[in-house]
Amino acid sequence: MPSRGRWRGSSTSSAAFTIDAVSGTGPRRVSRSRSTRSPRTRTACGPRILADLSLTLHQAGRGEQAAATAARARALAEAAADRHAQAQAHNLLGVLASGAGRLDVARAELERSLALAEELDDASARAAALNNLALVARAAGELDRALELTEEALKLCAAQGDRHREAALETNLADLHHAAGRSAESMEHLKRAVAIFSEVGPDEDTRLPEIWKLVSW
């Protein structure tokens, strides 16, 4: 069965997807009882849970609190030497900065997330950072760079067998080619996206209309 992306969705107009909080797996229910967790596990989960809280605050339109919470998650992740959590926090800080129009800050945060993901050999985190960097490049008017980054993210998702995210990236490429005035290339990517969605069917993320727009993960 095809693997699924390890990101969570947002209902904002530029739907945000971030690296999942717990060990790069799918969403998990947080236990109310901490007695079964070791201190090391609790320390590792702390910054990741804070990053998820930051995303929730962002979705609620509480931007300042979201940024402060994400910065705290990054600090805790660094103190714990948890590189997975660091990659997650930098990715989220990049998404938040991009949404606020601070493109230089967003680029720096996302490049750090990408570097960590590469060190960890985490393909899902790499694809997330690449996609988000592509959105920053597009916002800066760098369409060729945005296309290059999106195509790299697409290769990673295809290699993982993540058909839902592959389809989403095909739509991103269609939009980018359209913005560059390349209608034929745009239509080819859109046809591929439609074919994949038809093949795999919708999931909880692709039911959102935002999946047909450029999205951040």
**What structural domains does the chain harbor?**
7-212 (1.25.40.10)
The reply to whether the predicted model has a pTM over 0.85 is no
Amino acid letter, residue 119: E
Contacts of 28 (CB under 8 A, 6+ apart): 21, 22
Task: Tell me the per-residue pLDDT of 133-175, one tens digit each, with 9 for 90 and over.
Answer: 999 999 999 999 999 999 999 999 999 999 988 999 999 999 9
Model pLDDT for residues 25-77, shown as the tens digit of each residue: 333 333 334 444 444 444 446 888 898 888 888 888 888 899 999 999 999 99
Q: Write the DSSP assignment of 37-73 as a string of letters.
A: S-HHHHHHHHHHHHHHHHHHHHHTT-HHHHHHHHHHH
Q: Is 19 helix (H, G, I), strand (E, B) or coil?
A: strand
